[in-house]
Structure formats: structure tokens, C-alpha cells
Amino acid sequence: MSDNRRAKRSWLLPTGLLALVVVLVVIALSRGPVTLDPDTPEGTVQEYLQAIRDQRWEDAVAVIHPDWLGSCEATDLEQFADPDFTATLGTENGFGAVVEQNFTAEVRGSGEEPLPEPTETVEVTISHTSGAGLGSSWDEYVAFGLIEDDDFWWLGNDPWPYFIWNCREG
């Protein structure tokens, strides 16, 4: 085989690999966001975060367990929410490290009954961006506790952006 033929063939492999990478990137970028099943813990968290992002405060508080929500209202959430974020959901083993949030405070419901305890955890990376410049973006790792009640997954405890502590009757 002549050197001329070898030179012509030597560019085929790198060119083919480059074309494959370009095709895979185009496919990955053209996919839309995944909508999770709302009857799952992850779907409930996605629904909550999407409602905050869209500033649908009533829809956001509608997935918080009524015993945990107490006297709080959608306007209380609106006060603390910043809808300019992106979120990446993961399961308990979806991240390199498990995020643990231990809330040991005695929180009581109406009539001093203990509030239902979350039984499932969905971890989320929430990315914030505020303007340009150094230090204008940061990530926050949040663990959402969920309670299954009446065949529905509810957010339990004080879900991000942590507003229930401010409006609960004490």
C-alpha cells in the first residue's frame, strides 16, 4: 500500500469519531426536560419546584402536607421564593455524597399532636444565578422529605425555600 493511500485513510477514523460526537451532542441538546410521574416522590418535588419557578404559589403549597403547612398560605411562600433558579433532581444515591438534614426541633401540629414524619427523601441541586461577575452563582443541596398519605406524596417538614417557620402559629 502506498504512503499516499495510508495518508488518505488515516483521517477517516478521527473524522468519523468527530461526526459521531457532533451527532450525540445535537441529540442531547434537542431533548426537552423530562417530566416525572407526579405519583412519585421525585415527581412531587418536580411539580413543587416547577410551580415556584412559574410563580404559581397556590399550586406549590398544594403539595405540602396540610399538617405541616398549618396556617401558612401561598403568600408566605411567595415572600421567600426566588423563582430564578434551576434544579437538578436526584435520588438518595444520585449524588456523590448523601445530603443529610437533621431537624431535631420539636415541631407540633394543631392540638400538640406530633406532625407526620417524612419517609422518603429526594435530593436536589438548586443552582442560583444573580447577575454577572465573580461569586454571582452558587449551588445549594436540598433534601426534600416526603410523606405518603391518602395515596398521594406530600412534602413534609419545611421545604425549600424554608418559609413555614416564619408563619406557623407558635
Q: Tell me the pLDDT tens digit for each residue of 26-35.
A: 676 666 567 7
CATH class of domain segment(s) 38-167: alpha beta
Does the predicted model carry a pTM greater than 0.85? no
Domain boundaries, the chain: 1-32, 38-167
The predicted model gives 42-56 an average pLDDT of 90
> For residues 82 and 92, what is the distance between their CA atoms, to the nearest angstrom?
25
8 A C-beta contact, residue 47 and residue 38: yes
> For residues 64 and 60, what is the distance between their CA atoms, to the nearest angstrom?
8
Pick from 148, 163, 145, 132: which is nearest to 52 by CA?
A: 163
Determine which helix (DSSP H) or strand (DSSP E) holds 139, and give its type and residue range.
Answer: strand 137-149
Helix axes 3-10, 12-30, angle to 10 degrees: 10
In the chain, the amino acid numbered 53 is R
Q: What is the mean pLDDT of the chain?
A: 76
pLDDT for the residue 85: 78
Q: Which residues contact 119 (CB under 8 A, 6 or more apart)?
A: 146, 147, 148
Pinpoint the alpha helices (H) of 55-101. Answer: 57-61, 66-69, 74-80
Residue 57 has pLDDT above 90, yes or no: yes
